[in-house]
Amino acid sequence: MIQKRQIIAAAAGVLLGYGIWAAAQNFGGTADGGAGNAGYGRMADAGGGAGAAGNTAAGSGGLGADGTGVGADGSGLAGTGRSADGSSGTDFSALSEVPELNEQELAAVRRLAAAVKSGSKERIAAELLADGDTLSWLYYETFGEERYRYDGTEFRADLAGEGLVLTGAASVFYGSFGENGPEGRCTALQAVELEKPRYDYSEGTWKDGRMDGAGVSGYRYYQGPPQGEAEEVRKEGRFVRGKMEGTITYRNTGSDGVTATYTMEVKEGVTQPDDRWIPGPEEGIYHLEADDNPAYAYALTEEEMKQPRWVNLLVWDVEE
């Protein structure tokens, strides 16, 4: 039985950057907006239907909370904290093109940067939610919705380089940037909290502000899913200008911890059905049996088969 799907706002791609942003790469998640595992003979994953809706999000970055600087070997992130005498570690007034931040905003940015450096998406999401009011004021009021790159010591108007960029109250891109946005290895993560906190993410290779190359996108409820939702979904494969292409892998983990993995063909983000897709008992719905568990199947309607659902939803440019 197909459950009613909950569609939640999306945001962007996740790959950990190089250099000072280096951390273990954690590919994972699906940003397809939704369908989960349809159970054969019993309830599948969370609530047994065609599953949980996909949310997409964007990543955040972080510095050490103590405000310490880059090490002599080039590792680490420089802090923007206050020194013992109360003076600012970063003179933002010297950057005429970047608005000056207050103490509370600087502290929130340092905590976020430290979370990014840790490589933990859960920690990044928790910081985005915990400092949501401050980061919202920083982005919408102080920055006026303009995007500046935090390079580990200060915000810069020049986007090209390594660092993190706030793109909303609870969303951030971090990694490598060019003049047109993410370029090379970059991550986008967005935190949302409805019944339970979760993060949506996209990580991989980017070109001219779009996912272009190997990547992964998805979401995870990191304190357990709400009733009827999957705990985690992820899609992995190759992206071409934000749309998946070729053979992709979709994985759905239910609230019971059971995982089902599906391999399918996609062209320009649209499912390309083959003889493995079997008409289900419901008219107009097709099932694809899981590669690793025949008790589960991925279900799509005929209309969903025609939609470009296999795309990156955590975009850099809203006009994309």
Query: pLDDT tens digits, the chain, 320 residues: what are they?
Result: 222 222 222 233 322 222 223 233 333 333 343 434 443 332 233 333 333 333 333 333 333 333 333 333 333 333 333 333 444 344 433 444 899 999 999 999 999 999 999 999 999 999 999 999 999 999 999 999 999 999 998 999 999 999 999 999 899 999 999 999 999 999 999 999 989 999 999 999 999 999 999 999 999 999 999 988 999 999 999 999 999 999 999 999 999 999 999 999 999 999 999 999 999 888 889 999 999 999 999 999 999 999 999 999 999 987 66
Q: Between β-strands 149-150 and 37-39, what pairing exists: parallel, antiparallel or unpaired?
A: unpaired
* Helix H or strand E encompassing 183: strand 181-193
Look at residue 89 and tell me if it is in a domain.
yes
Supply 116's token pair.
């990014």
Number of domains in the chain: 1
Look at residue 10 and tell me if it is in a domain.
no
According to the model, what pLDDT value does residue 23 have? 30
Look at residue 316 and tell me if it is in a domain.
no
DSSP 203-268: EEEEETTEEEEEEEEEEEETT-PPTT--SEEEEEEEEETTEEEEEEEEEEE-TTS-EEEEEEEEET
Question: CA-CA distance, 177 to 26, in Å (whole number)?
Answer: 19
Look at residue 100 and tell me if it is in a domain.
yes
Does the pTM of the predicted model rise above 0.85? no
Residues in CB range of 108: below 8 A, 6 or more apart = 131, 134, 135, 138
Look at residue 200 and tell me if it is in a domain.
yes
Instruction: Tell me the residue range of the domain where 197 lies.
Output: 19-305
pLDDT in tens, 217-266: 999 999 999 988 999 999 999 999 999 999 999 999 999 999 999 999 99
Kindly tell me the sign of the dihedral angle through the C-alpha atoms of 136, 26, 126, 67: negative
Question: CA-CA distance, 217 to 19, in Å (whole number)?
Answer: 23
Look at residue 310 and tell me if it is in a domain.
no
Look at residue 273 and tell me if it is in a domain.
yes
Question: CA-CA distance, 287 to 296, in Å (whole number)?
Answer: 9
Look at residue 14 and tell me if it is in a domain.
no
Question: CA-CA distance, 106 to 111, in Å (whole number)?
Answer: 9
Question: CA-CA distance, 303 to 2, in Å (whole number)?
Answer: 14
